[in-house]
Amino acid sequence: MKTAALSLRNWKEILRDKLNVSFGLGFPLVLILLLSFIQKNIPVSMFELPQLTPGIIVFGFTFLSLFSGMLIAKDRSSSLFMRLFTSPLKPNHFVFSYYIPFLPLAFFQAVFTYIVALILGLEFSIHILSSIIISLPVAIMFVSLGVLCGTIFNDKQVGGICGAFLTNFSAWLSDTWFDINLVGGAFAKIAKALPFYHAVEAGRYALAGEYSKIFPDLWWVIGYAIVISALAIWVFGKKMNYDK
């Protein structure tokens, strides 16, 4: 009940910020349109829709980190949080209330991206549904990153870290814009040690219906999601009691 009340409030805060909705849906739309047109003029296998769409979804999720981080950072600096800290709430109530509203948003974002991809010529298959389901642990991982950043940094810092650094970092290392194996060396090793590349690969395998190949990549994403979530709850609990 307590988590639901906080989640509902966060859900309303997110939806009433028009910038969130327009960026969350608009940016992936612009990118998929742009890259599809490039692909039509200069054919690049990487920008073919079955390859591109899962990458766009993962890139779109970086905005979930930004929005969740900004929301929690702004809340932390407000008197409303002081009021809530004196109520019988525990750190897990707070942290889960930031996850819950972002998951339906992630779902809509993934569905919306696939609808656009279908309009642009992606062949319809039941595997699209699998790819959307596969994207949920990826969304949890990105929201965890946002919650962690929002718990540690102020809203201006979160804007820089999640808005500039994370979006670029995840884009370069995700195998969406260029083949990281072509770069090779340390770059490819770093990319494969991080979850972004695996998130895109898992989505691609799911969309292709190659389910046996999903799991090595998805384990990376789930592992990162668990570790970052645990860290976010622990850090939030510490911050909640920082003065004690």
Partner 1 sequence: MIAIKTIDLTKNYKDICAVDSLNLEIKEGELFSLLGVNGAGKTTTIKCLSCLSKPSTGDALILGNSILKNEIEVKKLISVSPQETAVAPNLSVKENLGFICGVNGFNKSKSQDYTLKTIKNFDMEEIKNKQAGKLSGGWQRRLSIAMAIISEPKILFLDEPTLGLDVLARRELWALIKDLKKHMTIILTTHYMEEAEALSDRIGIMSKGKLIAKGSAIELISQTRAKNFEEAFIEIAGKRGEIK
Other residues' Cβ atoms within 10 Å of the Cβ of residue 241: 10
18 near partner 1, judged by CB under 8 A: no
Considering only 8, 119, 193, 230, the residue that binds partner 1 (CB under 8 A) is 8
In the complex with partner 1, which residue's Cβ is closer, 104 or 121?
Answer: 104
122 in Cβ contact with 39 (< 8 Å): no
Distance CA 73, CA 80 (A): 12
The verdict on 84 binding partner 1 (CB under 8 A) reads: yes
Find the length of the chain.
244
Cα distances (angstroms) measured from residue 243 to each of 73, 89, 147, 239: 18, 17, 20, 8
Stretch that binds partner 1, among 3-11, 119-127, 178-186, 197-205 (CB under 8 A): 3-11
What letter would DSSP give residue 95?
H
Query: CA 192 to CA 186: how far, in whole Å?
Result: 10
Interface region with partner 1, contact rule CB under 8 A, candidates 13-21, 52-60, 184-192, 196-204? 13-21
Please identify which residue in 79, 124, 186, 212 interacts with partner 1, judged by CB under 8 A. Answer: 79
Write out the two tokens for 154: 């102020």
Q: Does residue 100 bind partner 1 (CB under 8 A)?
A: no
Which chain residues interact with partner 1 by CB under 8 A?
1-2, 4-6, 8-9, 12-13, 16-17, 78-80, 82-89, 241, 243-244
